[in-house]
Structure 1
């Protein structure tokens, strides 16, 4: 958990166990990996198969993500971030983790 200390006050991306994608400034965390994000947004990225859908950016403000839901936290590189056009970016469809019946 001490690895998150270096991200404090910095913009991060968080991916949750249910594949949600958040972005915000890390304001706090605890030993259970509960995370507090300031100026948080949720990004919804669609795949190329979803031709009628436009990527979404949902402003959430101050947001808490429960530690049991956090799958990945990563610092955002401002130089690379500035080159991303989120409106045209397409995501790959995630494969299911469930066994087929």
Structure 2
């Protein structure tokens, strides 16, 4: 996972297979894409109420749960009013057995 090296010690957004969005600083990773994020928070979008950021602290996300990782601009995040952004929960990417 050398492609993640440029993201070390930078702010990243992580989307997981169950549709969750995490933000924080990428502290480390391994060959299985298990990642460690410090100052992590989960951003939860709602259809009918303001978006919430839930503080998580230090967070480990298993590699088989990671769908996408990207960096983000902290200044742009600070000026974006997420309380006025509404959305339905992302659908998960797991295949249903039913």
- Conservation of the 8 A alpha-carbon contact between 2:9 and 2:26: yes
- How many residues are aligned here? 96
Question: How much has 1:9 moved relative to structure 2?
Answer: 0.3
Query: Is 1:54 aligned with 2:59?
Result: no
Which protein shows a greater Rg? 1
* Aligned-partner Cα distance in 2 for 1:62–1:78: 18
Over aligned residues, Cα RMSD in angstroms?
2.1
Is the alpha carbon distance of 1:19 and 1:25 closer, same or farther for their aligned partners in structure 2, counting shifts above 3 Å? same
How high is the TM-score relative to the length of structure 2?
Answer: 0.84
How high is the TM-score relative to the length of structure 1?
Answer: 0.82
Q: Which moved more, 1:19-28 or 1:85-94?
A: 85-94
Could you tell me which runs of 5 or more consecutive residues in structure 2 were left unpaired when the two chains were aligned.
none
- Which residue of 1 is the match for residue 16 of structure 2? 16
**Secondary structure of 1:4's partner?**
helix
Higher helix share: 2
* Aligned-partner Cα distance in 1 for 2:50–2:85: 10
Question: How much has 1:79 moved relative to structure 2?
Answer: 4.0
